[in-house]
Every structure is written in C-alpha cells, then in structure tokens.
Amino acid sequence: GTAQIGVTGLAVMGRNLARNMARSGLTVAVHNRTPGRTTALVEEFGHEGAFVAARDAEEFVAALERPRRLVVMVKAGEPTDAVIARFAPLLEPGDIVVDGGNAHFADTRRRERELRERGIHFVGAGISGGEEGALHGPSIMPGGSAASYEALGPLLERIAARAPDGTPCVSHVGPDGAGHFVKMVHNGIEYADMQLIGEAYHLLREVAGFAPARIAETFRGWNAGRLDSYLIEITAEVLAHRDAATGEPFVDVVADRAEQKGTGRWTAQIALDLGVPVPGIAEAVFARSLSGHAALREASEGLPGPDVKPMEEAEAVRFAEAVEQALYASKIVSYTQGFQQIRAGSETYGWDVDPGAVASLWRAGCIVRAAFLDRIRAAYEARPGLVGLLADAGFAAEIGEAQDDWRAVVAAAARRGVPAPGFAAALAYYDALRAPRLPAALTQAQRDFFGAHTYRRTDREGSFHTLWGGDRSEVAG
Ligand code: NBP
C-alpha cells in the first residue's frame, strides 16, 4: 500500500478529516460502508490531494502502508464495534486503529484491551471542533499506547489546529481511554461555559434591561479582553442577528428548549462515580433538561416572584461590568472543576495525564478555545503539582478582585427572581473551598446518630461513636 493513513466512515466528520489530511500532503485511503460516499468524496474533492478510493474493507487495508494507520469516523457505539469486527481480522500486529468518534471512554478501554491482545494498537482519539474543525484543524486528544503515538503523532500534528504560538493542538494524552475521557470533560466544560454565558445574557436582559443588540455589543467588548474566546465571539454574532421572517431579534424566535447529545451528561455521571464535585457542569446539564420540561414550566408560570423596578442607565452600566466579573470568576471555577475531574480520572485509571498539556491542546481548534487556556497551561507549567487552579496565585488574585461583584450579581439574580444556577453554584463551590469549617461535621454527627456510622475528631486520631440511644458516652468506633 502507498497511503500513509486511511479514513473509514465518510459522513461530514470523516470526509472533512480526510480532506484535511490530503490537503496537508498525505496520501489518504478513503472508505465508507456505503460506497456512494467514497465516490462522491473523490469526485468533488479529488483535486485537493492524493486520495486512494477503496470499495471494500480488503481494498482499504491493502491500500495502507505498514504499520497501517486507520482512522474510524463512524457513529459512536454499536457501529464502532461493527467496524472493528470487520477490520480486525484483516490487520497485522503493529497496525494502529484510531477511533475519532465520540466514544464513551469505558468502551474505548474495552476495545483497546481486546485489540491489544491481538497486537493491534487502538487509539481512542477525542476530536473537537465540529465539521469546520475537522477540515481546517481540530483539537485532537489521542489516548492509546505511547508507541502508537510515535507512529501517529507526526501525521496528526500536520492536520491539527495550531495555538497562537504555533504549537499543534495534539499530544499524547495518556493510555487507553485517556483521550476520550479528556474529550468528554472538554464537552462538560463546554456545557458549563455555555450555561454561564447564557446566564450573563439573561441577567443583562432582565436585570440591566439591555436589548439583544446592546448585549451583542457588550459581549464584543468582553471578547476584546480576558474573556476572549470562540464561544463569546459567536454569542455576540447570534445576539446581533435578526430573524429574516419577523424582523425580531433571532434569539427571541428560537424556542427556549436546549437539547443535548449526552457528553455533558456523561461528564456529570462519571464525576458522581469518581466522587469529584463538578456542580458547574451538573447545573449546566440540569438547566438544559429543565428547559425541556414544558408542562412543569407552564404549570409554574403564575407562581409569585419579586416586585422589581427597572435599573437606571448608570446602574445598568455598572451592573454589566459586575456581570463580566461574575462570568470570569465562575469560568475559573468551572475550569477548576473540569481539571479536577481529569486529575481524578487520571489517578483512578493510572493515566498520568498532564493537565498543562491538556490546556495547551484546547487553545485552538475546539469549542472551548480561548485566550484563558494559555493562562491555565502556564499555571500548570509553572507548578506541575498544582492542587487546582484556585491554588495558582494569578487566578486567586483575579477571583479575589472579582468576588464582590460576583456576590452582588448572584444576590441581584436572587432578589430579582432571575435564575443563575451556574453563577450561584460556582460561588458556593468557591466559598465551600475557602471555608475553614464546613457543616459536614454536623452531617457526619447525624450519620453517627441514626446509623452508627462513626466520626473522626479534630483533636485526636481514631474513629469514634457516641451512644446516642444510651448515656451518650463516647466509645471507639
Ligand atoms: P455519523 O455519526 O452520522 O455516522 C455516519 C457514518 O457512520 C457513516 O459513514 C455511516 O456509514 C457509518 N456507519 C454507521 Br451509522 N453504522 C455503520 C456500521 N455498522 N458499519 C460501518 N459504518 C457505519 O457521522 P458524523 O456526524 O460524521 O460523525 C462521526 C463521528 O464523529 C461520530 O462518532 C460523532 O459522534 C463524532 N462527531 C464529532 C463531532 C465533533 O465536533 N467532534 C461532530 C460531529 C460528530 P454509511 O454511509 O454506510 O451509512
């Protein structure tokens, strides 16, 4: 075979990824279960580079130089297993199968183990950036063996997005499912970012009384500062857009029900399993599902809320500045939570993931791309053992400066009856981490009372139980 790499599964993602590879100078074998997609790709885009069209699995495998590098871009789940079952018997030890779909990391761990037994490398690679990213440069998060990355990395570096400093947004994340785990957390953080931006919009609209066009301007201003990011940029564009049919602001004609494909939900579910608090991500998942509960919302519309006066202009302008502070502080907190989840996954599964490297490869190509990520990269680089982002002096100082405004915004939201679960949960997380004492002491005492679950003491070692039903003396637990 002469192709350096192959892509099987030529729907939007696979097709664009194959084009990106060909445009970067690689010879790319292309294959799809239904051959029509393969011929369509070569007919439309064959002039962009060197494609080798394969009609079936045997031809595809034969077209690849060894060790073979096959990228699978099919629908996640059952189809991925079907493709592996089809190709595995045709492969030889040392060949590399890359799954670029949105697989659950537990499936990736299973597939990696099964193929490893046959001497085949299986690389679960998170790919972010949607179809545009696939074509022009995605952020790529490959797991699998370090040996497979040696054969694969140089090729992926050619097609990945580039950070502003020129570094390709791809690096070996860690063994087996590490890449898909990190991609999952990326999506969870994306949910949290979007929820926080949504709350900022809602507060500017309902509390400051700004029209969507003015909020678009406000976001544009923020995008020129420390919040510089893809999501803030597209938010400004969406808010500035008017519906052609009605002439109304576009955001007002879209039904207020947010859907989800499930990766944010996975992030929250896995966080519960790992015992990592990620309330920002969980609130974002819940906010989307709450929005879809039409009957419950309708039945609740008449419930009493507070009496509110609109803000005066000067007060509204000041409030908008405070919202920027609240958004930034909440963003630091939600990234803190996401990176803690990556750390927990890494410890549980023995992946040794470098959080600074993860921040580095999210700097371009993916949905959460932002100037902010370079700060996170630098924070972890300066102190590799950093216990969470809030332990970084720079972030701690910024959050310290933001906190008065942040509290004022959360209080204003509560007083004016505008839901801000993301801002409020982020602030509660921050205050809980800061607190010298938590009411967990009382919780544990209650558990000892009704279930003899024992407790530890602040003043000496050991575990203890109080005889609550008896004379209330303390015994060793
Ligand atoms: P789809 O997720 O729509 O999958 C369609 C592809 O899967 C077609 O090539 C189809 O072949 C193939 N396929 C199916 Br379905 N069942 C198959 C089977 N049993 N055997 C072989 N092939 C099978 O494609 P997509 O939207 O391009 O997404 C591809 C992957 O990338 C997915 O895992 C998705 O979650 C992920 N994705 C990521 C992003 C992102 O932003 N990172 C965006 C979109 C998608 P056919 O043509 O013969 O039916």
pLDDT tens across 285-298, in order?
999 999 999 999 99
What's the pLDDT at 406? 98
pLDDT in tens, 96-152: 999 999 999 999 999 999 999 999 999 999 999 999 999 999 999 999 999 999 999
ipTM over 0.90: yes
Is pLDDT at 1 greater than 90 in this prediction? Answer: no
CA distance 60 to 44: 20
Of residues 437 and 308, the one with the higher pLDDT is: 437
- Nearest residue (CA) to ligand 1, atom 12: 74
β-bridge mates for residue 71, sequence order: 7, 98
Is pLDDT at 170 greater than 90 in this prediction? Answer: yes
How many angstroms separate the alpha carbon of residue 197 from the centre of ligand 1? 30
Yes or no: say if 379 and 395 are a contact pair by the CB < 8 Å rule. Answer: yes
CA distance 235 to 327: 14
In the chain, the percentage of residues whose pLDDT exceeds 90 is 98
Yes or no: say if 73 and 100 are a contact pair by the CB < 8 Å rule. Answer: yes
In the three-class reduction of DSSP (H, G, I as helix; E, B as strand; rest coil), residue 98 is classed as strand
Mutate to test the pocket of ligand 1, among 75, 159, 366 (most ligand atoms within 8 A of CB): 75
- Nearest residue (CA) to ligand 1, atom 39: 130
CA distance 51 to 291: 45
Question: Which H or E run contains 336?
Answer: helix 313-349
Residue length of the chain:
477
String of DSSP letters for 167-184: -BSB----STTHHHHHHH
pLDDT in tens, 354-399: 999 999 999 999 999 999 999 999 999 999 899 999 999 999 999 9
What's the pLDDT at 384? 86
Yes or no: say if 58 and 47 are a contact pair by the CB < 8 Å rule. Answer: no
What's the pLDDT at 195? 98
Is pLDDT at 430 greater than 90 in this prediction? Answer: yes
CA dihedral over 18, 377, 433, 232, signed as positive or negative: negative
How many angstroms separate the alpha carbon of residue 13 from the centre of ligand 1? 7
How many angstroms separate the alpha carbon of residue 39 from the centre of ligand 1? 17
Please give the mean pLDDT across all residues of the chain. 97
pTM of the model: 0.97
Spell out the residues 6+ positions from residue 343 whose beta carbon is closer than 8 angstroms to its own.
353, 355
Average pLDDT (422-451) is 98
Average pLDDT (67-84) is 98
Ligand 1, closest atom to CA 133?
41
Is pLDDT at 262 greater than 90 in this prediction? Answer: no
pLDDT in tens, 243-252: 999 999 999 9
Yes or no: say if 153 and 34 are a contact pair by the CB < 8 Å rule. Answer: no
Yes or no: say if 25 and 51 are a contact pair by the CB < 8 Å rule. Answer: no
C-beta atoms surrounding 386 within 10 Å: 19
Average pLDDT (337-365) is 98
Q: Residue 352 class from Cβ within 10 Å (0-12 exposed, 13-18 middle, 19+ buried)?
A: exposed
CA distance 454 to 468: 11
CA distance 403 to 412: 14
What's the pLDDT at 248? 98
Spell out the residues 6+ positions from residue 387 whose beta carbon is closer than 8 angstroms to its own.
none
183 is annotated as an active-site residue: yes
Joined together, the tokens standing for residue 460 give: 């000496």
Question: Which H or E run contains 6?
Answer: strand 5-8
Average pLDDT (20-39) is 98
String of DSSP letters for 231-297: HHHHHHHHHH-B-TTT-SBHHHHS-S-----SHHHHHHHHHHHHT---HHHHHHHHHHHHHT-HHHH
CA distance 378 to 380: 6
Ligand 1 pocket, residue 75 CB under 6 Å: yes
How many angstroms separate the alpha carbon of residue 183 from the centre of ligand 1? 17
Ligand 1, closest atom to CA 103?
33
Yes or no: say if 137 and 159 are a contact pair by the CB < 8 Å rule. Answer: yes
Ligand 1 pocket, residue 130 CB under 6 Å: yes
Residue 275, CB half-sphere, CA atoms under 13 Å: how many?
Answer: 2
What's the pLDDT at 134? 97
In the three-class reduction of DSSP (H, G, I as helix; E, B as strand; rest coil), residue 230 is classed as helix
Average pLDDT (428-456) is 98
Q: In which order are the strands placed within the sheet that holds 139-142?
A: 50-53, 27-31, 5-8, 69-72, 96-99, 121-128, 139-142
Is pLDDT at 217 greater than 90 in this prediction? Answer: yes
